[in-house]
Structures are given as structure tokens and as C-alpha cells.
Chains A and B, each alone.
Chain A
Amino acid sequence: MADSPEAIKKSIRLYCIVGFILFLGTVITYLVATVPALDIGRHGFDVYDCILGLAIAATKAGFVLLIFMHFNHEKKAIYWMFASGIIMAIALAGLTALAIYNPIFDPLFYSGR
């Protein structure tokens, strides 16, 4: 990572901006979760809140990964290594959950639990 001093100085501005975005994202998550007026979907926690919360978290995580961890200009080999971890983690969580849900053949699944 032999960046020149000028490049690093420019990056510092970028880091500040991203840091601010992360703070903002946290505040937004907190407000959406606690302020009743901002409650989407059904009253209280439901699948829409879940998706929104995870989406905000994923966006924040994306910023940390891409900017702070320099993932945006990392080598392809590193992309593959880290991506394989994420893909397998999703496979684990997804297939394990699907084992108790049975979306294709179970008629009860669609009529609500």
C-alpha cells in the first residue's frame, strides 16, 4: 500500500466524510427503531423493520469495508478470499433456516404463521 503523501492527505478527507456517514447511519437506525412516528409496516417490530435495519447495517458495513479497509482497491485474490467467507456464511444461515421453513411445498407457509 505504497500511497504517496498527497494521496493519503486526500484520503483523510474521505475518511472524515465516511466517519460522518457512519454516525448518521447509526442515528437513523436508532430513530427508526424507537420513534413511533417512523415505524413502517405493522405496529412494532415486523419483517419490514427487520429488512430496513439490516439494510442500514449492511450499508454502514459496506462503507467500513470498502473505504476504511481499502477493499475498493484491493487485489482480486483478496476479494475472492473474503467473498468466499461471506457467501458461505449466507449459505449456512440461509440453508439452515430453510430447513425449518419449507417454502415450496408447505401450503401453510403462505397463509401466515
Chain B
Amino acid sequence: MEIPYIVTPRKDTGLFNSKIAIWLFLASEVMLFGGFFSAYVFLRLGADFPWPERTLPVMPGLINTFVLIGSSVTVVFAWASLKLGNWRMFQLFMGITVACAGIFMVLKGIEYNVKFHHQAVRLPDFTVVEGHLAYEKDEKGYVLNHHGKKIEENMIFVEAKQLNFSTVRFHKPWVEEFISQAEHRNAKILLASDLNLVTEFGKPAVTIGKANEPLSVELLAKIKKAYLAARAHNAELRTDALRLAWREKKAEFPDKKDWELTRDVNVDASKLELLEEVSTVTFNVDPPAKFEFKPRDIKEDATSSRLRDDTVITGPLLPSPMVFHHMDAVDFRHLAMRAKAKGQDPIKAIDDSWLVQNNPFVKKAWEWNKLQVAKIEKELIDGYGRDEQGKPKREPIAKERYRLGWKEFAAIAEGKDRGDADIKMREEFLGPDYAKRGDETFPEFSLPREKVAFASKFTPTWNTYYALYFTITGLHGLHVIGGALVLAYYLFFGRKMFDENPEWLANRVEIGGLFWHFVDLVWIFVFPIFYLM
């Protein structure tokens, strides 16, 4: 039994099966990327924060565009070579196509990597600072943590006296972290008091844990097991009691409706033999030790902090600043947007902001920028003139007024004007060369924890623009990989098909090529939308 029209087209439709299938699939892909692009339109129009226009370094995107267009051309040549029966040329062009895909993904990987290592933080007054975080150092060099790794200076430190775990919800990796960190600090985590529980109804209490027993995952697991057993037992007893209570109540008042009786039907817990349910367990830290946590995992408080798995850490919060080794951007656009919305003068709001008031470097840079803005205004008036009301036809944009990016820091250090700094090609891809430009250009900056309103690296977390950027380019990248795999399959394993049935192979390569062109098509839109707009 053969499926017809796999290779030869059907006469009345003029199509073979996979051609129909691939165009249908491409229509669905149009809808998939269409859904994402409509999300982009919606989120950009409705954004309540200044949309990052033209923030991405353009060079990697531009080169990737050329690479992908080139690969589109070569894949067509590869197909044409097959139709002309030239295996060598097919190999050559298909090889270039797959190599282009590889270059594309490498450049993308570099782009992503640079972003993942770049930190951003929003202060409570909506000032934004960007840069690279420092690693903790002492006189001897880098400080290593309990795993032997460098410590990025964005941790929350608590001097813990007591730990209180949720019996059911504790997160095993975090418990192991506690044990490891305590060991590193030469402290012990010990059970606060004896834990004697009845694990099986009718049997006497069992010692699950003794006082001063060290914390371990097995111990917590034992306690959890006992808790779940007790909870199950108690629930069963209470359910039976409630059922009995209802039956009795309904027998007592046969004419009354259920909702009338509800208030009077209760479970009398004193009459039941319930087991003790231990839902939290307390451990003492001896001596009180400094523990470090990732900011996302902990809700810190001056005296008692809480982890996301409901572990309560009793102890004072230690200073936990966010320290930048190199601050490379300061962005007042959001602050200015909010000031304007409140009817305040944005320039004054920035002058009065905490960062300008407390950081001489930023103050200097801000004063420099004010002069630059005045210069740009004059240039625009000279170039384009004023309209009938006397307003200048063109004005500096928000980015020029309120954002000092790394290129502006570089210009300040070089004593040049905005846009005139000497930027190397390498820096267009990888960001500023901190080593060469030095600490005077990109200074250290320590931000106290209270001044951190929201922080993240340049990941989907930072704002919806980056969320969309990573999602769409990431999905596109997956499509590039998928398409490249299919094309590579025909490149490396197609010889046999070429010898036996060249037309079949040409059809397959055509279908793969169609997919590849679609991937290029999507990128043709992605590049201007994300990089140039």
C-alpha cells in the first residue's frame, strides 16, 4: 500500500503532499509569530514605562541579517544545483547555508551572553542604574563561598539565630544549602527541643528527633512523614465525626433545610482522639552565623526574614548592598516620565533625586548632560528652524535628555561631546571594554539594599521589552536550529537518495528550503522592529 502523490504532483491540484503540508505549516507559523508580534504591539502601546527604543547594539543584529539573507540565497542555489543534477555544487551551497546558520547562532549566543551578565536596578524613585556587579574581594583576593565559587555582590545577608522550617513545604536543595553554609561558617544547626510524636495511632509516641540533633534532610523527611500521617488520621476522624453530626442533626430537625442547620453542625474536636500535627520545626543556629541568600528567594526584614518555602529565619538583617564593579549607565527617563505625569519639572526632579544628590560622579555626568542637551537643542533649531508658534520644529528625544548610556560615559571620560566617543568594533558586540577604559570612566558604585526597588540582569525579567525580545528571538533561534538540522541531514545523508531518486531529494530540499526562507522572512521583520525601532 503506497500513499500517492508523495513525489509526483496530483494532476488536478498540481501539488504533491509535502508542498501542501509545508505551506499549511507556514501559515500556522505566521499565526504563531503573528501572536507574538501582536503582543509586541499591544505591550508597546500600553507600556507604562519608557519603552527602550534603540537600546540594543545594532552591529550583531545587522551582521546576522546579512548572514541570514546570504544563507537564503545559497539554499536556493543548493536546490537549483540538485535540479541540475550537480551534487558537488549542492554540497557546497548547502554547506555554506548550514555554516551561516551556525554563525547566526554563535552571534546570537554572544549577544545573549553579554546581556545575561549585565545588571540593572531600579531605585524607589524610578532612577535606573546599569552595570556589572562586583565579586566579593578581601586583601587576599576573591572570597570564595561554601561551594568554592566567587560571590557576586548582590546577596542578602542575615545573621541567623533560629531557623523555623515548614514541615511540608521545605525545599530540599535549600535545606542542603543551609547545612553547607553553616559548615562553611563553623556553626551548627541543631534541633531546638525533643520531638516525640505518635506516628501510628494506638501506638506510643516515638522519638523522631532529639534536642540538639543536627539538621539533615532525612530528619526533616521523617518529621514530614509523621506530620502527613497525623494529618491524614485526624482528617479521617473529623470527617466521620462531621458526617455523624449531620446525620444526627437532620434526624433531630427533619423539616429544616440544610442551610438552616449549618451553623449548629460542628466537629467537637475534644471528643476525638486526634494526633498532634507538627507543621513547623525549630532549629537553633549555634553560634549565630551569617547566611547568604539570593534576593529573589527571600523576603527580608530587619529582625525576621522569610524564604519562599516558608522557612522563617530569626535574626538581624546585615548590610546587604548591591555593589557594582562598573556602573555603565544611568537612566532617568522613567523618573522624568513620572514627574511629568505629576505635573513636576523633570529636570528639577532629577536634580533632587537621591542618586544625583548622593553620588558626585553621577552629579557631574548629569551636569555634563544638561550642557549637551542645550547643544543639541541649538543644533536642531539651527538645522530645522521653528514653527509658527515659535516652538522648535525638532527637539531632543527623551533618550538624549535623560539617559546616560555607556557611550556617554566614554564621551565624558574622553572629554568629547555626546555621540563623538571613540568606540571600537569589539565594543559594539561585547559592550564597553572596562579594562581598557578603567575605573574613572566606569566607577564603582554601592547601592544600599533599601534603595533596590527592583533588580535583575538583562533577562526577560527586567521589563516587557526584553521579555519579548528574548522570547521572539529565542523562538526564532530554535527555528533556525531546527531548519539547519533538517538541511544538514540532507547535506550529510542525502547522497544515497541522490543516487537512487534525485527528484525525491530535490523535493525534500525544496521543502526544507521553504522553511528556511520563512525563518529568514521572520528575521527580516524582527531585525528592524527590535534593533532599529
Task: Tell me, rounded to whole Å, the shortest Cβ–Cβ distance linking A7 to chain B.
Answer: 9
Tell me which of B75-83, B139-147, B455-463 binds A: B75-83
Is A102 positioned at the interface, with any CB of B under 8 Å from its CB? Answer: no
Complex formed: what's the CA distance from A86 to B27 in Å? 7
B15: chain A residues at CB < 8 Å are 75, 77-78
Given contacts A57-B525, A89-B30, contact A30 B514 (CB under 8 A): no
Contact of B41 among A23, A65, A75, A97 (CB under 8 A): A97
Within 8 A of B (CB), among A6-64: 8-9, 11-12, 15-16, 18-19, 22-23, 26, 29-30, 33-34, 42-45, 49-50, 53-54, 56-57, 60-61, 64
Which among B29, B62, B396 is the interface contact of A26 at CB below 8 angstroms? B62
Q: In the complex, which residue of chain A has the Cβ closest to the Cβ of B73?
A: A19
Q: How far apart are A40's CB and chain B's nearest CB, in angstroms?
A: 11
Contact call A69/B528, Cβ cutoff below 8 A: no
B393 to chain A, nearest CB (A): 8
Residues of B contacting A93 in the complex (Cβ-Cβ under 8 angstroms): 34, 37-38, 41
Q: How far does the Cβ of B38 sit from chain A's closest Cβ, in whole Å?
A: 4
Q: What residues on A are CB-neighbors of B24 within 8 Å?
A: 81
- Determine if A54 and B399 form an interchain contact, defined as CB atoms under 8 angstroms apart: no
Bound form: Cα–Cα A1–B395 in Å: 55
Q: Judging by beta carbons under 8 Å apart, are B533 and A45 in contact?
A: yes
Q: B31: which of A18, A30, A68, A89 is its contact (CB, 8 Å)?
A: A89
Closest to B395 in A: A43
Is B254 interfacial (CB-CB < 8 Å)?
no
Mostly, the A contact residues are helix
How many angstroms between the C-alpha atoms of A90 and B42 in the bound complex? 13
- Residue from A18, A82, A101 in contact with B27 in the complex, judged by beta carbons closer than 8 Å: A82
Interface string of B27-50 (1 = CB under 8 A from A): 111110111011001100110000
Chain B: interface residue total (CB-CB under 8 A):
59
Count A-B pairs with CB separation below 8 Å. 151
- State in angstroms the CA–CA spacing of A53 and B532 once bound together: 8
Is A5 in contact with chain B by the CB < 8 A criterion?
A: yes
Chain B residues positioned under 8 Å from A29 (CB to CB):
527-528, 532
Contact status B23-A82, CB under 8 Å: yes
Interface centre among A16, A18, A30 (most CB of B within 10 A): A30
1/0 per residue, CB under 8 A from B, across A65-95: the answer is: 1001100000101100110111011101100
A111 in contact (CB, < 8 A): no
Interface centre among A3, A78, A88 (most CB of B within 10 A): A78
Report B's interface with A, CB cutoff 8 A: 13-15, 19-20, 23-24, 26-31, 33-35, 37-38, 41-42, 45-46, 53-54, 58, 62, 65-66, 69-70, 72-73, 76-77, 80, 83-84, 380, 394-397, 399-400, 507, 510, 513-514, 517-518, 520-521, 524-525, 527-529, 532-533
Known: A18-B73, A97-B42, A97-B45. 5 other contacts (CB 8 A): A8-B84, A33-B528, A49-B533, A56-B528, A85-B31
Sampled A-B contacts (10; CB under 8 Å)? A19-B69, A22-B72, A33-B528, A44-B399, A64-B524, A69-B514, A78-B20, A81-B20, A93-B34, A97-B38
